[in-house]
Amino acid sequence: MSVEDKKRWDEKYRTTLAPTDTVEVVKDFCKEAKGNKALDIACGKGRNSIFLAKEGFSIDALDISEVAIESLKGIENIKAQVVDFDEYELKENAYDLIVCTYFLERKLFPQIEKALKEEGIFIFETFMHHEENTKVPSNRAFLLEQGELEATFKKNYEILVLNEFMDVGVCGDKSMKVSMVARKK
């Protein structure tokens, strides 16, 4: 990520309320992991990390925003670290569970596979391209295409859950999303 991206995310976390509710697919499927070592990629202010810590996981929480990471300092079972995913390499064979929600960097997919232990669980949720979307990232590169996750992960993972769905927000904004839970083969 660029310096401009870092500044933008720091400013966003300084001035905007970050979501605090754990992403449902994380709540519903984190216990599929056979161990308790977890990674939260692009964790933001830690809505998923905090939940996982309460569930007994030891979490590496990574984000580019110093503001976001600072909000996680001192929380038991969370090791929060500022990283730039353009330069950072995930630890190999280190995690029973990896969570990534609302951050799409396709070049991380091979690193995620290497970072997961055998039979490790990957939980992923993000936006998809759809002509009815009214609220999603403006850059098409940050949107998945229909069927893209399955095509990317079916060879080396057992896909436990794959759900493409239209989400309608409280203000009526529509966003096509996809959730996936996959076990590394």
The predicted-structure confidence for 27-49, as pLDDT tens digits, reads as follows 999 999 999 999 999 999 999 99
Any idea which of 64-68, 111-115, 132-136 has the lowest mean pLDDT? 132-136
Residue 55: name the closest of 75, 22, 31 by CA: 31
- More confident position, 8 or 184: 184
Among 71, 91, 100, 98, which Cα is nearest to 9's?
71
Euclidean distance between CA atoms 182 and 185, whole angstroms: 9
Let me know: does 98 contact 123? Beta carbons within 8 Å: yes
Residue 167: count other Cβ atoms within 10 Å of its Cβ: 12
| Contact between residue 149 and residue 162 where contact means Cβ atoms under 8 Å apart | yes
- Distance between CA atoms of 145 and 143, rounded to whole angstroms? 7
**pLDDT confidence tier of residue 63, bands split at 50, 70 and 90:** very high
Residue 138 has pLDDT above 80, yes or no: no
Model confidence at 1: pLDDT above 70: no
Q: Which of 46, 49, 29 is nearest to 37 (CA)?
A: 49
Domains of the chain: 3-184 (3.40.50.150)
Q: Which two tokens stand for residue 117?
A: 């232990």
Residue 62 corresponds to which amino acid? Answer: L
